[in-house]
Amino acid sequence: MALVTSHMNANVPSANLFGTPVGDKNSSNGQNIANNSNVTIQKQHHKNHHNSTSHHHSQRNGQGTFDAIYNATLNNNDFSDPVNKTETNLIKAIFNEQNVTFVDQTSPKRYEPDRPIGYGAFGVVWSVTDPRNHKKVALKKMPNVFQNLASCKRVFREIRMLDSFRHDNVLGLLDILQPTDKHFFQEIYILTELMQSDLHKIIVSPQPLTSDHIKVFVYQILRGLKYLHSANILHRDIKPGNLLVNSNCILKICDFGLARVWNPKEQVNMTHEVVTQYYRAPELLMGARKYTGAIDVWSVGCIFAELLGRRILFQAQGPIEQLNMIIDLLGTPNTDEMRNACDGAKNYIMRSAYRQPNTMKFYSLSHQASHEAVHLLISMLMFDPEKRMNVDDALAHPYLEEGRMRFHSCMCSCCYTTPRKERIFAKISDPGHQMPFDSKWEKELTRLSMFDLRERLYKYITERTPLFGIPLCINTNSASYRDFVNSSVAQASELPPSPNAWD
C-alpha cells in the first residue's frame, strides 16, 4: 500500500503527525510545472528554492554491465494496488483550493508499497512516493532532535549542508516536511533522492566487478569528495554503506551526521571519535585532535582496496589492532610522521618492534591491481597525512582517466547530448561548491543554546520554499504510520565507538 499520496481537499484535516492542522502559509509560493509528465501544478509564479540547471540536463543512460549490478542487488518486490489511497498515505500534500490545481495525468495500475530501507545511527529511512509527482523518494525520519544540544547541532548542520548540495555525486535535499506546531516540534522529516543500493551491498554481492566498475566508482567518490572539501566540509564517515548507488551506477555520498565545517587555514581541535574504525586514518587512531581532509582521502583509499579485493582491507577487532595492521602494511612511521599523535600513541609505537613496509601485498588484492592502481592506492594510504595525495591530485591520476570518460560520456548531468547525437562536454568536469561554508557559521552554531537552535530550525523549515511550491506533512491516518513511528535508529550514540584512550 502506498505510504505517501496527495490530499486533494482544500481543508486540511487534523490528521497530521501531532493531531494539529497544518496551515497554508506557503500556499502563495510555488511555480508552474507545465511539462511534468506526472502532474500539473498551477500556482502564483515564484522562483523555486531547489531548482538547479543540473536537474534539467540529466543524461543518465547506464549501459551494459553497469545495469547488472542493479539487478544483482535489488530485492524482488510484490506490487499491489492500494485498497484506500487517501487513508493509507503517511504524508500528504497541502493545497489551497483558490490558487492550486492538481491534475493527475497518470493512472498507474500498480503501486510499489512503501517500506523501510535503512536504519542508521541518526535516522530511519523509508522508500515512499511523492504525492506531487508520484516519483519514488527517500523519507528520512530524524527522531529526538532536541534530546540534547549535540543532537540539535548535528541535525541543523546536516540539514543546512544537504540543502546546499547540487552535485551528481553528493546526496542533496529535495524537501522538508512541515512541522505541525512549534510546541510539539520534536522530529524532522526530510525527502531525498531514492537510490536503489549502496557500495557495501555491491561489494559483498556475487556480482563480478570489472575494472571499469571500480574506476567509475572511485572516480565518483573522489569527485563528490572534492565538492565537499571545496565547500569546507569534512565528511568524517566515508564508508561503503554511506555511498549510495542507483541502477545506472550513479554514486552519491550520503549521511552527513558526523560532517563538520572546516577552514583549512585554521588549526582547531576536533574530536577524533569519528569515522567507522575500518576506514579510520592512522592519525585519528593515534588520538590526533587536529586533522584535515586527508582523513577522508584515507577512507577512500581503504574503499578502493576493498573494491579490488572484495574484502575489508584493515578488518581489526579494536583500534590498537587496527593501527598494527596498518603498520604491518605501511611500515613503522618515524617521529615526524607521528607529529599530530598524542604522547601515549607515540610511546606505544616507539616501544614496538620496527617493521618494514610491505606494500607489495597490494598486488595480491586482485588481478585487477595494476601498477597504476597500486600507485594510486599507496598514494592515498600514506601514513603521513601531509604526504597523502589530496583529492585534486587523485582525480588527475592516470588510473581514473577511463572512469572519468565513462562517467561523462553517459552518466553525468554536466554534459549533454545534442539532437545530432553529439556529446557536449562541460568545461569543468569536477566542479567545486559555489558557496563554501564559512567557519564563522560553525563557530556561531557552537555558541547557540538549545532554545535558540530549536527556534532557528523551526524558522528555517517553515520559511523554506518547498519543492513545487507545495508543502507536505505527516498523515497519522496512514496504515503504515504506526510502523513508521515505531521504527527506531540503530544506535543511540552520537558518535562511533570511541577509539583507544591512549593517555
d(CA 469, CA 24): 11
Check the annotation: does 140 bind a ligand.
yes
d(CA 16, CA 39): 24
The partner residues of 101 in beta bridges, in order of sequence, read: 42
d(CA 161, CA 173): 9
d(CA 220, CA 117): 23
Tell me which DSSP letter residue 2 carries.
Answer: -
d(CA 139, CA 194): 9
Does an H or E element contain 234, and which?
strand 233-234
Query: How many C-beta atoms lie closer than 10 Å to residue 416's C-beta?
Result: 15
Tell me which DSSP letter residue 22 carries.
Answer: P
Of 143, 171, 231, 227, which Cα lies nearest the Cα of 442?
231
CA atoms within 13 A on the CB side of 376: 28
d(CA 107, CA 280): 49
d(CA 246, CA 339): 41
Q: In this structure, are residues 249 and 69 in contact, taking their beta carbons and an 8 Å threshold?
A: yes
Q: In this structure, are residues 408 and 417 in contact, taking their beta carbons and an 8 Å threshold?
A: no
Of 365, 428, 367, 370, which Cα lies nearest the Cα of 395?
428
C-alpha dist (Å) from residue 494 to 232, 376, 424 = 22, 33, 45
Contacts of 181 (CB under 8 A, 6+ apart): 18, 20
Q: What are phi and psi of 348, to 5 degrees?
A: -65, -45
Task: Please give the torsion angle defined by the CA atoms of residues 452, 497, 227 and 368, in that order, rounded to the nearest 10 degrees.
Answer: -170
237: annotated active-site residue: yes
Of 123, 119, 104, 84, which Cα lies nearest the Cα of 3?
84
Q: What are phi and psi of 474, to 5 degrees?
A: -75, 145
Q: What are phi and psi of 260, to 5 degrees?
A: -145, 135
Q: Which of 237, 255, 296, 430 is catalytic?
A: 237
Task: Tell me the H-state helices in 107-246.
Answer: 149-164, 199-204, 211-230
The SS3 of residue 46 is coil
Q: In this structure, are residues 217 and 167 in contact, taking their beta carbons and an 8 Å threshold?
A: no
Q: Which residues are annotated binding-site positions?
A: 140
Q: Which residues are annotated binding-site positions for ATP?
A: 140
Give catalytic residues, as residue numbers.
Answer: 237
